[in-house]
């Protein structure tokens, strides 16, 4: 959709995985009613092409540069694919547990960052009983510094929780950002006793703060349920990895997809065969593709991923406090899948608690001090690596030639799967809140609040510190630009 | 006396350098005592509100929008710093510089194994900005005063450099804080 008559074709010379700047366009009819609203992703980098020719062992450290917020996810998904190439997909216990520790550390820091640094300014400044008033709070305080001024204890908790997650990553990956811990078939270090004891020092404080974070998110959601339930919401399918016994597992499992009322579309699918189940539609107005479940087609097969989808698809969580929190969450929708966009925040905090429970368990596991770090087997020329990144199911797929060079790479990043859902959320909020009115900065933020619930990695990044560069354009039915509001 | 202002932006980067700035952890509370943040992704300031002492640039320039933002930063900042390998030398995104862009397009939107694109259309909406022929490091576009290497530079590197500049001292980073990984 374009506002002016300058409909000339732009020759864009690509290159990127989709991340970076987002843009929303909204189309109005002659009665000022919203006719169409879209989230466009406007960056392209071309990783799939330019890593062709690179040696495969370089890939886990190279592709994580897609994203500085959850680099561990790309690092590990690529390593899991390369495990298949070297025939080392059956990891040693030390290797698997070190990778898990790294991944739970990443979940912990990423979820804390999103909730405290990014989302909380939308959630904390509303008038009692009116959460939507918080979405339009004074722009001068609607940021993490404003949160620190009004709720200093909470801000410090957020900073220290993120810090703890980063310390876990440092001790498993060697660096806080863009580390090197995972290699094809295993890992390159174990956890020393000194490192373990350092991480154990603060663990109980982190568990305590995680409990209180779940309570904040739960209380906020339950107290405002009536107003939050319709906000940017819609029924959808949900997809995630799941352990063989049906437990939530963010590092490894098989694919499960359910529909909006919980009926299974497929279950326990080996992800090496993901091509038979998932396709990606290309649309001309966004660099981000639109994934769908093949058996349902592009129209009906789109699905949600991330914390909400994972809590919906899981039969249970295998840590006690997170499982109790999950049961409370599911009770709100009487055990059926929760389709409320704003419920992502609560689900995310349940996973935060799950992550810290697992970190505590792992730190007491002596396998982390093991010395058998790498597994090898029969060399293959193709491998698929999947895991659950903080923002949802992440797909990495590579083919390698006999000279060890990558010849094909296919990446479906988490946020891509949420492309259609985020567009639905944007359209719903636009129709409900922008029809027939003048757009104010606060209303613009309503649209962002809906997008932000999905914690998109439009650049796992551009929205990183709270405010995505976002332009909202209002266009009348003749294509004239009526109003523009933007932030950058 | 008014506090000096700091502005930050991410161009063609991955936001890892901004994450590393956050890795100063609780020192961020000390930092906001020393400076005010102007235009930056950490707040809602959309346009420069005034003259800034320091501008931090993450990422190189891959499209015309990046160039416009970078020139705007040069205009408003006394000291401009290229932060990280993408800003200082293009970094990983510059790996596309030796490959025809049509091939990158084709791989992502026509040839990929999950692609469903019956009309063979490559995204071409006028809403999508023009890419540059290559990814450029920042100093090839505007004058840059300092370069901080690293992917990303460590939190201590960023902290030491900022504190030195804000207290009018020379930036003398110890060897251990200058790394290219």
CA–CA gap between residue B9 and residue B55 (Å, rounded) = 8
**Does any CB of chain B come closer than 8 Å to the CB of residue A66?**
yes
Looking at beta carbons, which residues of chain A come within 8 Å of B16? 65, 67-69, 71, 177-178
CA distance A197 to A202: 9
Q: What pLDDT is attached to residue A145?
A: 81
The chain A residue lying nearest B103, using CA atoms, is: A49
Taking contacts as CB-CB distances below 8 angstroms, the residues of chain A near B69 are 488
Residue A477: what pLDDT?
Answer: 58
Rounded to whole angstroms, the Cα distance separating A397 from A154 reads: 40
Q: Does residue A265 have a pLDDT over 90?
A: yes
Instruction: Dump pLDDT digits (tens) for A374-401.
Output: 999 999 999 999 999 999 999 999 999 9
- The answer to whether residue A470 scores a pLDDT higher than 80 is no
Which chain A residues contact residue B123 at CB under 8 A? 12, 44, 282-287
A222 in contact with B, Cβ within 8 Å: no
Q: Which residue has the higher pLDDT, A7 or A133?
A: A133
Give the pLDDT confidence score for residue A128 in this predicted structure.
86
Query: CA separation (Å) from A113 to A45, A219, A360, B49, B152?
Result: 25, 20, 20, 27, 18
Q: Tell me the pLDDT tens digit for each residue of A274-298.
A: 999 999 998 877 778 899 999 999 9
Residue percentage of chain A with pLDDT more than 70: 88
Residue B152: cis peptide before it, omega within 30 degrees of 0: yes
Residue A22 has what pLDDT?
66
- How many alpha carbons lie under 13 Å from residue B40 in its C-beta half-sphere? 22
Q: Which of A4, A142, A412 sits opposite B44 (nearest CB)?
A: A142
Fold of the B5-96+134-178 domain: Rossmann fold (3.40.50)
B127/A464 touch (CB, cutoff 8 Å), yes or no: no
Per the CB < 8 Å rule, is B14 touching A7? no
Torsion of CA A413, A416, A421, A426, to 10 degrees: 120
Single out the residue of A7, A14, A10 nearest to residue A288, CA to CA: A14
What is the pLDDT, as a whole number, of residue A225?
96
Nearest Cβ partner for B121 among A12, A160, A282: A282
Would you tell me the crossing angle of helices A152-173 and A193-201 to the nearest 10 degrees? 170
Kindly report the average pLDDT of chain A as a whole number: 87
Instruction: Tell me if A46 and B101 make a contact (CB, 8 A cut-off).
Output: yes
Q: Do B22 and A143 make contact, defined as CB atoms within 8 angstroms?
A: no
Q: Which domains are delineated in chain A?
A: 8-45+433-487 (no CATH), 47-232+314-383+390-402 (1.10.645.10)
Mean pLDDT check: name the lowest of A41-45, A80-84, A123-127, A419-423: A41-45
A54 versus A471: which is more confidently predicted? Answer: A54
Strands (E), A236-325: 237-242, 254-258, 264-269, 278-281, 290-293, 303-304
pLDDT digits (tens, 9 = 90+) for A33-90: 787 788 876 667 778 889 999 999 999 999 999 888 889 999 999 999 999 999 999 9
Cβ–Cβ gap B123/A12 under 8 Å? yes
Tally A–B CB contacts below 8 A. 245
- Closest residue, chain A, to B63 (C-alpha): A43
- A contacts of B6 (beta carbons < 8 Å): none
* Model confidence band, residue A483 (pLDDT cutoffs 50, 70, 90): low
A23 contacts in B (CB within 8 Å)? 127
Question: Looking at residue A464, what is its pLDDT?
Answer: 25
Span A451-476, mean pLDDT? Answer: 53
Confirm or reject contact between B78 and chain A (CB < 8 A): no
The answer to whether B15 contacts chain A (CB < 8 Å) is: yes
Collapse the DSSP code of A215 into the 3-class scheme (helix H, G, I; strand E, B; otherwise coil) and give the result: helix
For A80-120, the pLDDT digits (tens) are 999 999 999 999 999 999 999 999 999 999 999 989 988 88
Interface of B with A in 124-143 (CB under 8 A): 124-133, 135
pLDDT of residue A474 exceeding 70? no
The answer to whether A43 contacts B101, with C-beta atoms less than 8 Å apart, is: no
Q: Which of A323-332, A365-374, A468-477, B67-76 is least confident?
A: A468-477
- The answer to whether residue A45 neighbours chain B at the CB level (below 8 Å) is yes
Name B23's Cβ contacts closer than 8 Å, sequence gap at least 6. A163, A166, A176, A177, B154, B155
Structure confidence at residue A143 (pLDDT): 78
**How many helical (H) and strand (E) elements, i.e. helices and strands, does chain B have?**
6, 8
Q: Does A280 touch chain B (CB under 8 A)?
A: yes
Q: How close does chain B come to A58, measured CA to CA in Å?
A: 12
Between chains, do B14 and A461 touch, taking CB under 8 Å as contact? yes
pLDDT reading at A3 higher than 70: no
- CB contact under 8 Å between A45 and B151, yes or no, is no
- pTM score, whole prediction: 0.91
Q: In tens digits, what is the pLDDT along chain B, a chain of 181 residues?
A: 689 999 999 899 888 999 999 999 989 888 888 898 888 776 666 678 899 999 999 999 988 889 989 999 999 999 999 999 999 999 999 999 998 888 887 888 898 899 999 988 887 776 667 788 889 999 999 999 999 999 999 999 999 999 999 999 999 999 999 988 8
Q: Is the pLDDT of residue A461 over 50?
A: no
Per-residue model confidence (pLDDT) at position A77: 97
Q: What is residue A12's predicted lDDT score, i.e. its pLDDT?
A: 18
ipTM here: 0.94
Domain ranges, ordered by start, for chain B: 5-96+134-178
Does B135 contact A285 at a Cβ distance shorter than 8 Å?
A: no
Is A298 within 8 Å of B116 when comparing Cβ atoms?
yes
Q: How many helices (H) and strands (E) does chain A have?
A: 18, 15
Cross-chain CB nearest to A284 (options B26, B108, B123): B123
* Token output for A22: 């987002």
The number of beta carbons lying within 10 Å of the beta carbon of residue A371 is 7
pLDDT band at A467 (very low <50, low <70, confident <90, very high): very low
Contact B101 A13 (CB under 8 A): yes
Angle at A464 between CA A109 and CA A271, to 5 degrees: 65
Residues of B in contact with A65 (CB under 8 A): 14, 16, 91-92, 151
Residue A50 and residue B104: Cβ atoms within 8 Å? yes
> Tell me, what's the pLDDT at A449?
87
Closest CA to A373 of A73, A79, A106: A79
Query: A460 touching B, CB under 8 A?
Result: yes
Residue A343 has pLDDT above 60, yes or no: yes
> What's the longest Cα–Cα distance across chain A?
70
- pLDDT level of residue A30 (50, 70, 90 thresholds): confident
- Residue A39 pLDDT: 81
- pLDDT band at residue A21 using 50, 70 and 90 as cut-offs: low
CB atoms within 10 A of CB A229: 17
**How confident is the model at residue A480, as a pLDDT?**
62
What number is the average pLDDT over the span A323-350?
97
> Considering CB atoms only, which of B23, B41, B116 is closest to A280?
B116
C-alpha torsion angle, residues B127, A47, A168, A153 (rounded to 10): -10
């Amino acid at each position: 959709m374009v506002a002016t008559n300058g409909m000339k074709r732009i020759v864009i010379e690509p290159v990127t995985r989709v991340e970076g700047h987002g843009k929303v366009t909204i189309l109005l009819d002659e009665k000022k009613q919203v006719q169409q609203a879209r989230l466009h992703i406007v960056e392209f980098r071309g990783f799939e092409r330019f890593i062709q020719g690179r040696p495969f062992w370089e890939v886990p450290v190279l592709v994580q540069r897609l994203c500085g917020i959850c680099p561990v996810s790309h690092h590990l998904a690529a390593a899991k694919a390369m495990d298949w190439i070297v025939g080392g997909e059956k990891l040693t216990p030390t290797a698997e547990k070190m990778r898990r520790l790294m991944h739970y550390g990443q979940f912990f820091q990423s979820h804390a960052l999103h909730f405290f640094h990014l989302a909380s300014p939308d959630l904390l400044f509303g008038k009692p009983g009116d959460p939507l008033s918080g979405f339009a709070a004074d722009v001068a305080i609607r940021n993490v510094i404003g949160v620190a001024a009004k709720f200093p204890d909470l801000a410090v908790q957020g900073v220290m929780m993120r810090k703890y997650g980063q310390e876990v990553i440092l001790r498993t990956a060697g660096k806080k950002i863009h580390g090197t811990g995972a290699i094809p078939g295993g890992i390159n270090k174990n956890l020393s006793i000194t490192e373990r004891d350092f991480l154990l020092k603060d663990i109980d404080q982190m568990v305590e703060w995680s409990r209180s974070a779940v309570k904040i998110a739960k209380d906020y959601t339950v107290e405002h349920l009536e107003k939050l339930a319709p906000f940017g919401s819609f029924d959808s399918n949900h997809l995630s990895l799941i352990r063989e016994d049906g437990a939530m597992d963010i590092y490894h499992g098989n694919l499960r997809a359910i529909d909006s009322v919980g009926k299974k579309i497929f279950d326990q699918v080996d992800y090496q065969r993901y091509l038979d189940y998932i396709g990606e539609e290309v649309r001309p107005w966004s660099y981000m593709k639109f994934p769908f479940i093949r058996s349902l087609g592009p129209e009906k097969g789109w699905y949600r991923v991330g914390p909400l989808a994972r809590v919906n698809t899981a039969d249970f969580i295998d840590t006690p406090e997170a499982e109790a929190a999950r049961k409370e969450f599911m009770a709100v929708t009487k055990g059926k899948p929760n389709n409320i966009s704003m419920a992502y925040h609560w689900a995310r905090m349940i996973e935060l608690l799950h992550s810290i429970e697992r970190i505590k368990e792992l730190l007491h596991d002596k396998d982390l001090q093991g010395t058998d770090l790498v597994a090898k087997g029969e060399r293959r020329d193709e491998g698929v690596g999947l895991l659950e990144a903080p923002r949802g199911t992440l797909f990495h797929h590579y083919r390698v030639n006999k000279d060890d060079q990558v010849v094909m790479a296919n990446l479906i990043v988490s946020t891509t799967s949420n492309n259609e859902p985020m567009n639905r959320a944007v359209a719903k909020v636009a129709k409900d809140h922008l029809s027939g009115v003048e757009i104010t900065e606060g209303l613009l933020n309503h649209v962002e609040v809906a997008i932000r619930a999905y914690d998109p990695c439009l650049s796992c990044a551009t929205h990183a510190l709270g405010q995505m560069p976002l332009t909202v354009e209002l266009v009348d039915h003749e294509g004239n630009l009526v109003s523009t509001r933007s932030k950058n | 006396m008014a506090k000096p202002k700091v502005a930050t932006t991410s161009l063609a980067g991955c936001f890892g350098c901004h994450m590393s700035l956050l890795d100063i952890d609780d020192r961020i509370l000390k930092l906001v005592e020393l400076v005010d943040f102007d235009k930056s992704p950490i707040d809602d300031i959309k346009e420069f509100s005034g003259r800034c002492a320091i501008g931090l640039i993450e990422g190189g320039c891959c499209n015309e929008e990046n160039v416009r933002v970078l020139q705007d930063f040069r205009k408003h900042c006394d000291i401009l710093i290229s932060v990280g390998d993408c800003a200082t030398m293009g970094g990983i995104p510059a790996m596309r510089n030796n490959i025809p862009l049509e091939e990158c397009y084709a791989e992502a939107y026509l040839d990929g194994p999950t692609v469903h694109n019956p009309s063979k259309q490559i995204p071409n909406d006028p809403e999508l900005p023009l890419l540059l022929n290559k990814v450029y490091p920042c100093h090839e576009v505007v004058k840059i005063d300092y370069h901080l290497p690293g992917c990303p530079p460590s939190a201590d590197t960023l902290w030491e450099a900022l504190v030195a500049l804000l207290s009018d001292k020379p930036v003398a980073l110890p060897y251990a804080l200058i790394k290219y990984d």
